[in-house]
C-alpha cells in the first residue's frame, strides 16, 4: 500500500506543536520575569529602608559632630548633656540600621558590627567625659584626654559609615549589572524565539509544499488518466483532507461517466442497428418507387394516349358529349397521376443521391419569364393576374431544368391556392445572391403549419384546402432542389391573406 501523509492532520499537528511551544516559551519568560521582578521589588523595599537608615545615621552623626565641637569649645555640663542625648539617638539609629541589614538577602557587613562597637565606645567616652566635667569643671586640660578620645571615636565612626556607604554603592552597582544581564538575556531569548519561529515556519512550509505537491501530482496524473478515456481509473488511499475530498469527487465522477459511457454505447449500438434498418428500408423504398414509377408510366401514357384519341374523335359536332366529358376527366386524372409519379421519382433520386445537377451559367431572368409565359394561361383560366418584377440578365451557376422545376412548383402552387387577386414573381440580386419571391393573395398558411409544409407528404388540412388535389410533395421537392444549389427557401404567410415564398440561390458556386 502506498504511504501518503494526511495533509490536514499533519497541518493540525504542526500548528498545535507551534502553539504549545509558544505557550511554553511565553510561560517560561513570564515565570523568570516574575521572579526577577519580585527580587527587584524586595531589593527596592529593603534598600529604601536601608538608605533611609543610613541617611538618618549620617544626620545623627552630623549632629553628634556639632555637639562634639561645642564641647571642644566649651566643655560644660550642658554641652555634655546634649552630646549624650545625640549619642543615644545615634546609637538607636545604628541599632535600626543593624536590624534592617539583618533582614536583607545580603550577609551582614562587618562594618556595621564594628560601627555598633564604636558607638558603644563613644557612649562610654561620653559618660567618662561627663564625670570628668562634673569633677574638674571647665578645665580643658583636665578633660582633654577624654575629648581627644571622643574625636578619635567620631572619626572612626565616620570612617566606618563611609565604608558602609561604599559597600552599599557596590551592592547597587551589582544589582544593576544583574538587571542588565537579565534584560540582555531576555533580548537574546526573544531573538532566539523569532529565529526558531522563522526556521520552524520555513521547514513547515517546505514540508507542506512537499506533501501538497505529492498530492497534487497524484491528482494530476489521475485526472490525465480519466481525461484520456480511462474511466476505470480510481484514486486509492484517499485521506480525509481537502485533496482527498477532491479525489473522492473525481472517483464519483469517473464512476458516473463510466456508467453513462456504457449506457451511451448501448444506445449507440441500438441506434446503429436502427440506422442500418432505416437505410435498408430507404433503399427498398427507393427501389420500389423507381420500379413502380417505371411500371406505372407505361400504362398511364397509354391511358393518356387513348383519352386524347377519344376526345379527338368525340370532339366533332355529332360526337358523344357524355363520352367526351368522361374522357376529359380520365385524361386529367391520368396527367395528375403522372405528375405525382414524376415527383415521387425526383424525390427518391434526390434522397438516394442519384440526381446530380448539371451546373452551368444560365440566365435566370429568361428562365423566370419562360415559366410565367407557360403558366399564364392557367392563371387567366382561374381569373388571376400573373404579375412580374424581374431584373434583366441575372446570371447564375445552376441546373436550368431543376431551376425551372422549382419555379413551376412554387408558381403553380400559388395559383392553385389563390381564389382571387394575383400571383406575382419578383427577381433581384442581394449580396451575391439571386432572390426569387413568389407572392400570392391566396388562402395563406397557419403559423404552426409553416414549420411542417416542407416535410414529405405533408398537406395543410383545413376546410379551405380539403378540395385541392395533391399529396404534399411539391414544396418538399422544391426545398431539396434549392438545397442542391446551395440555397435556401423560406415562407412568410398569414392565414386568409396570402403567402410569400422566397428562394435564395448563390450567383456563383
**Distance in angstroms (rounded) separating the CA atoms of residues 509 and 359:** 9
Q: What is the pLDDT of residue 491?
A: 92
Residue 112 has pLDDT above 70, yes or no: no
Confirm if 502 and 437 have CB atoms less than 8 A apart: yes
> Quick one: cell of 105?
538577602
> Quick one: cell of 186?
531576555
Which range among 115-129, 185-199, 415-429 has the greatest average pLDDT?
A: 415-429
What are the residue boundaries of the structural domains of the chain, listed by start?
5-205, 238-354, 356-504
DSSP H or E segment with residue 386 = strand 385-390
Using alpha carbons, select from 416, 421, 363, 365 the residue that is nearest to residue 388. Answer: 365
The two beta strands, 488-494 and 360-363, are unpaired
**Distance in angstroms (rounded) separating the CA atoms of residues 135 and 345:** 175
Average confidence (pLDDT) over 394-403:
91
Domain 5-205 listed as CATH 1.20.120.1730: yes
Confirm if 303 and 335 have CB atoms less than 8 A apart: no
Q: What is the pLDDT of residue 143?
A: 57
pLDDT (tens digit, 9 = 90+) per residue, 193-235? Answer: 788 888 887 887 777 777 777 777 777 787 787 777 777 777 7
Q: How far is residue 406 from each of residues 47, 415, 436, 455, 473, measured CA to CA in Å?
A: 125, 14, 11, 16, 12
CATH class name, domain 356-504: alpha beta
Higher pLDDT, 155 or 494: 494
Q: Read off the pTM.
A: 0.44
Residue 150 has pLDDT above 90, yes or no: no
Amino acid at each position: 500500500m502506498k504511504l501518503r501523509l494526511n495533509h490536514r492532520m499533519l497541518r493540525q499537528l504542526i500548528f498545535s506543536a507551534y502553539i504549545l511551544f509558544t505557550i511554553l516559551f511565553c510561560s517560561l519568560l513570564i515565570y523568570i520575569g516574575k521572579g526577577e521582578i519580585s527580587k527587584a521589588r524586595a531589593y527596592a523595599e529593603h534598600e529604601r529602608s536601608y538608605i533611609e537608615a543610613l541617611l538618618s545615621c549620617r544626620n545623627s552623626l552630623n549632629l553628634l559632630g556639632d555637639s562634639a565641637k561645642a564641647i571642644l569649645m566649651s566643655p560644660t555640663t550642658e554641652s555634655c548633656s546634649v552630646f549624650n542625648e545625640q549619642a543615644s539617638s545615634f546609637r538607636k539609629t545604628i541599632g535600626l540600621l543593624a536590624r534592617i541589614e539583618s533582614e536583607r538577602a545580603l550577609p551582614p557587613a562587618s562594618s556595621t558590627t564594628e560601627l555598633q562597637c564604636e558607638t558603644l565606645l563613644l557612649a562610654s567616652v561620653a559618660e567618662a567625659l561627663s564625670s570628668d566635667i562634673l569633677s574638674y569643671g571647665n578645665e580643658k586640660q583636665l578633660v582633654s584626654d577624654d575629648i581627644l578620645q571622643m574625636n578619635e571615636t567620631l572619626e572612626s565612626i565616620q570612617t566606618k559609615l563611609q565604608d558602609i556607604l561604599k559597600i552599599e554603592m557596590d551592592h547597587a552597582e551589582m544589582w544593576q549589572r544583574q538587571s542588565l544581564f537579565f534584560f540582555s538575556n531576555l533580548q537574546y531569548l526573544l531573538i532566539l524565539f523569532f529565529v526558531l519561529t522563522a526556521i520552524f515556519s520555513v521547514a513547515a512550509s517546505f514540508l507542506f509544499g512537499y506533501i501538497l505537491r505529492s498530492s497534487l501530482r497524484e491528482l494530476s496524473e489521475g485526472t490525465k488518466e480519466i481525461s484520456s478515456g480511462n474511466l476505470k481509473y480510481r484514486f486509492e488511499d484517499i485521506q480525509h483532507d481537502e485533496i482527498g475530498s477532491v479525489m473522492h469527487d473525481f472517483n464519483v465522477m469517473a464512476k458516473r461517466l463510466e456508467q453513462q459511457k456504457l449506457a451511451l454505447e448501448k444506445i449507440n449500438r441500438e441506434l446503429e442497428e436502427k440506422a442500418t434498418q432505416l437505410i435498408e428500408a430507404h433503399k427498398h423504398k427507393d427501389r420500389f418507387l423507381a420500379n413502380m414509377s417505371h411500371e406505372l408510366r407505361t400504362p398511364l401514357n397509354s391511358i393518356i394516349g387513348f383519352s386524347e384519341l377519344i376526345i379527338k374523335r368525340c370532339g366533332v359536332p355529332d360526337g358523344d358529349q357524355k363520352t367526351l366529358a368522361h374522357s376529359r376527366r380520365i385524361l386529367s386524372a391520368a396527367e395528375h397521376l403522372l405528375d405525382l409519379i414524376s415527383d415521387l421519382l425526383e424525390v427518391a433520386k434526390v434522397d438516394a443521391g442519384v440526381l446530380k445537377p448539371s451546373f452551368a451559367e444560365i440566365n435566370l431572368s429568361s428562365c423566370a419569364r419562360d415559366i410565367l409565359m407557360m403558366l399564364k394561361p392557367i392563371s387567366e383560366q382561374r381569373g388571376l393576374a400573373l404579375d412580374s418584377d424581374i431584373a434583366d440578365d441575372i446570371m447564375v451557376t445552376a441546373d436550368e431544368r431543376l431551376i425551372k422545376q422549382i419555379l413551376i412548383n412554387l408558381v403553380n402552387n400559388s395559383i392553385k391556392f389563390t381564389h382571387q387577386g394575383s400571383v406575382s414573381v419578383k427577381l433581384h440580386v442581394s449580396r451575391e445572391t439571386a432572390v426569387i419571391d413568389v407572392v400570392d393573395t391566396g388562402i395563406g398558411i397557419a403559423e404552426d403549419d409553416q414549420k411542417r409544409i416542407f416535410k414529405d407528404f405533408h398537406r395543410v388540412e383545413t376546410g379551405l384546402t380539403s378540395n385541392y388535389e395533391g399529396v404534399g410533395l411539391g414544396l418538399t421537392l422544391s426545398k431539396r432542389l434549392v438545397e442542391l444549389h446551395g440555397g435556401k427557401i423560406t415562407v412568410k404567410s398569414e392565414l386568409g391573406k396570402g403567402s410569400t415564398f422566397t428562394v435564395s440561390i448563390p450567383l456563383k458556386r
